Structure formats: C-alpha cells, structure tokens
Amino acid sequence: MKRRKTIPDHRKKLGEAIRVRRKELGLSQEGLAEVVDCHRNFVGRIERGEQNPTVDMLMRFSKALQCSVTDLFSEADL
C-alpha cells in the first residue's frame, strides 16, 4: 500500500499567503502563471503546498505579486 506524503505546514502557509496576495490583486491562477511564466497547474500546486518552490520561483512570484519574498514569508507567519 502506498503511503501518502504529508504536506509540511510551512509550505501550506506559504501557499495560502500566495493565494491571498494573488486574489487581492484580482489575478486568476492562470493570470499569475502567465506573468510568472509557468503552468497554471504549477501555481495551484504551490498554493496547496504540494510543490516546493525554488528561490528563483519565489522571486518571480513576489515580483508578480508586487511584494518581497520577505513579505510572503511574513504573511505566512514563517
């Protein structure tokens, strides 16, 4: 039987902070993906905490969300 991997809490919190920021700016997942230059599914996986973003991706997300990476971590309470 295959075990499900548990998603670390810090990734869930970061994903939620990205989702909140995205919605505040009125962006859809598809719109954010276009600005960040990635697939819409990738944005969804990040927001659900299923995907661990690289530093490069965090920089691209923060620029698209008009904030700093520090802001995202702060909003995620990390």
CATH of residue 41: 1.10.260.40
At 8, the amino acid letter reads P
Q: What is the pLDDT of residue 43?
A: 98
Q: Is residue 1 one of the residues assigned to a domain? A: no
pTM score: 0.91
State how many domains the chain has: 1
Which range marks the domain in which residue 56 is found? 9-75
The pLDDT tens digits of the residues spanning 8-67 come to 999 999 999 999 999 999 999 999 999 999 999 999 999 999 999 999 999 999 999 999
Residue 21 near residue 76 (C-beta atoms within 8 A): no
- Cα–Cα distance list, 59 to 1, 64, 67, 77 (Å): 38, 9, 9, 18
Q: Is residue 36 one of the residues assigned to a domain? A: yes
Q: What is the pLDDT of residue 58?
A: 97
Q: Is residue 2 one of the residues assigned to a domain? A: no
